[in-house]
Homo-oligomer: A and B are copies of this chain.
Amino acid sequence: MALTFTEENYLKTIYMLLRQDAVVSTTALASAIGTTPASVTDMSGKLRDKQLVDYEKYQGLTLTPQGLKAALLIIRRHRLWECFLVDQLQFSWEEVHEIAEELEHVRSVKLTERLSHLLGNPRVDPHGDPIPDASGRIPRTVRENLLNVQDFKKLEVATVTDQSASLLKFLDRIGIRPGTRLDILERHDFDHSVEIRIRKRAPLTLSEQIAKHIYVRTITKAGGHP
């Protein structure tokens, strides 16, 4: 049964929210999609009928195996198109999310796989997010939030999880993008800000609101993207 545009957006969003919590609430989903809780309740029933989500009244949503696979294939297309826009069309990383939101809905396996091949079968998108493979498998990545990571030295930016153009543009200007190496100098308890140093440059202070969107890994071998 073919999915509609809207159903695809619901599945993708549910997947995103499930990375934070075990189940997704009606309200959280409504606010993420930009609709009302009442509409979400409506759609939840439809997605359950199509066996894409598990949903019981007042119990929130999770993805079924089918729903999960569908979500991962949408995300695969989204992230491949983001790579295409940056690598082939010289877009900057803050511009690509919006356009990829539309391109991701073009469902052609042949197109997706040839696009992947053209790009050299990339493993991560321009924001450092992993790209699921053609059957929807995604590597479980070890990355920790800049606010919580235990190690302070030899860190590398893995992912930036916010897609707003303004934040991405700001981070770009101060030199933070996937692959950037940095050390934590200090954490301040009073406002949870983080002081960091990128290579030999002057120290920078990142507010909690910014730092919470930055995920890092500790550099083990040669570094670079997974």
Contacts and interface: CB of A to CB of B under 8 A. Distances in A.
Interface of A: 85, 88-91, 95, 99, 102-103, 105-106, 108, 110-111, 114-115, 118
B108 A106 contact: no
A99 B114 contact: no
Contacts of A88: 118
B102 A114 contact: no
Contacts of A114: 89-91
Given A89-B118, A102-B106, 6 more contacts: A85-B111, A89-B111, A89-B114, A95-B110, A99-B108, A103-B103
Contact of A99 (B90, B95, B106): B106
Contacts of A108: 99
A105 B102 CA distance: 9
A10 to B, nearest CB: 18
Contacts of A91: 110, 114
A5 to B, nearest CB: 9
A42 B85 CA distance: 38
